[in-house]
Amino acid sequence: MKFLGELDEASLGRTLRCNRRLVDPNRLQAIRDTGLMDTPQEEAFDRLARLAAQLLDVPLTIMSLVDAERQFFKADFGLPSPFRETRQLPIDASLCRYTLEGESIISSNALADPFLKFHPSTGPWGIVALIVLPLINPEGHVLGTFCCIQPKVREWTQQDLTVMQELTASIMTEINLRDQIKKLKAEQNLRDTFVAALTHDLRTPLTAAKMGVQMLGRRHGDLPGVQSSVARVSGSLDRAERMIQNLLDASRIKAGKRVALELGECDFHAVTAQSLEDLSAVYPGRFMLKAEGVFKMRADPLGLRRIVENLASNAAKYGAPGTPIEVSLSASEHQVVLQVHNQGDPIAADELQTIFEPFHRTRSAAESAEKGWGLGLPLVRGLAEAHGGSATVTSSAEAGTCFTITLPLDAVSQRRLSA
């Protein structure tokens, strides 16, 4: 950059410091990461440029990105030709490059400013009064500027500066939110890839182990203790397989996808009774089933079983020890309702809103001796919603904790209506 006169010591020092920042590879990468260079104008930024022009009553406002080669005009109000068409300025003609140390440029009269009066752009552009504020990201890199320009002398007020500062903050909020969304999407893709690889890699040895155990049982089942050992190992392998499926389904739910179902005719009463009977081997005498008759529905029987098992086992693990757990079924013309009720310490009110979120555990669960991943309740809600139903919870010291699952009698019809 060739100035049109000799700069004083302070101005010269500023230009040298900013020139070093200009080619900083970390700053340039931060600009690339925004994804804004060489992109069309967007209303999200243009409206802030218009607002600045209206509030400050100036003819020109510009939001720019400044890389090592040029200044790119992402948004503006009143940008003249030929810059309106090219939307860029060679870096040697850029005034905004001298904010790269994070210092603003504010002047009521550029022609009398010891630094600005020698800059080759102030005259041709008709720049007299200006406010140029740096766009600084959370890592401290200056990405560009937001500026307003007046072609005549003007004493800027504190209100003028506050307006520009607030609008500059709004621009950075928009940029930072986009960056966070991009990172979350990348994280989600990485998580999906990891979970898919993990479940695939774990299922292969589990399948081989199950086949080996079954073969052992067939060949040596007549030996003492073999069948009981085979049953224990098979049960452990089945549990590990269920944990893998839970992890895979939780990942789908967190990504906003539905849990896959295999729909067929089933009796919810029979499914619930069998699930509670199996759990009674671990929690004897705890469950009371209140349901009469057949609850025929079109649903995923395994999905229904997983709902019952998760809610009933949670009630046994985290409810008051030794107290009965009431499991009830009721039906109307178009839906069936499952309720699991237990006594014990209530769930904190602030946690009722997040209790169905993946990998979330209540404080009482986290502090208990029971270990878990925080996958059970998200799966319950995910399975209910995949059927076209819902999952809710109420909890208080007086009434206890009650989880309510509402499901349509025909999951196929309900899913078709919501599609």
Q: What pLDDT score was predicted for residue 1?
A: 56
Q: What pLDDT score was predicted for residue 419?
A: 46
343: tokens are: 């006594």
110 and 127 Cβ atoms separated by less than 8 Å: yes
Angle at 181 between CA 177 and CA 187, to 5 degrees: 140
Residue 224: helix, strand or coil by DSSP?
A: coil
Beta strand segments in 198-320, E: 264-267, 287-290, 296-299
Predicted model pTM: 0.56
| Residue segments in the chain with a per-residue pLDDT below the cut of 70 | 1-5, 7, 118, 120, 123-124, 191-204, 221, 239, 243, 246-247, 250-257, 358-374, 412-419
Domains of the chain: 9-156 (3.30.450.40), 185-254 (1.10.287.130), 264-418 (3.30.565.10)
d(CA 83, CA 338): 66
Q: What pLDDT score was predicted for residue 215?
A: 79
Q: What pLDDT score was predicted for residue 418?
A: 47
Nearest to 56 by CA among 153, 168, 149, 174: 149
For 128-154, give the DSSP string: -EEEEEEEE-TTS-EEEEEEEEESS--
5 and 120 Cβ atoms separated by less than 8 Å: no
d(CA 320, CA 341): 11
| Polymer length of the chain | 419
Nearest to 391 by CA among 291, 311, 287: 311
Q: What pLDDT score was predicted for residue 393?
A: 93
379 and 306 Cβ atoms separated by less than 8 Å: yes
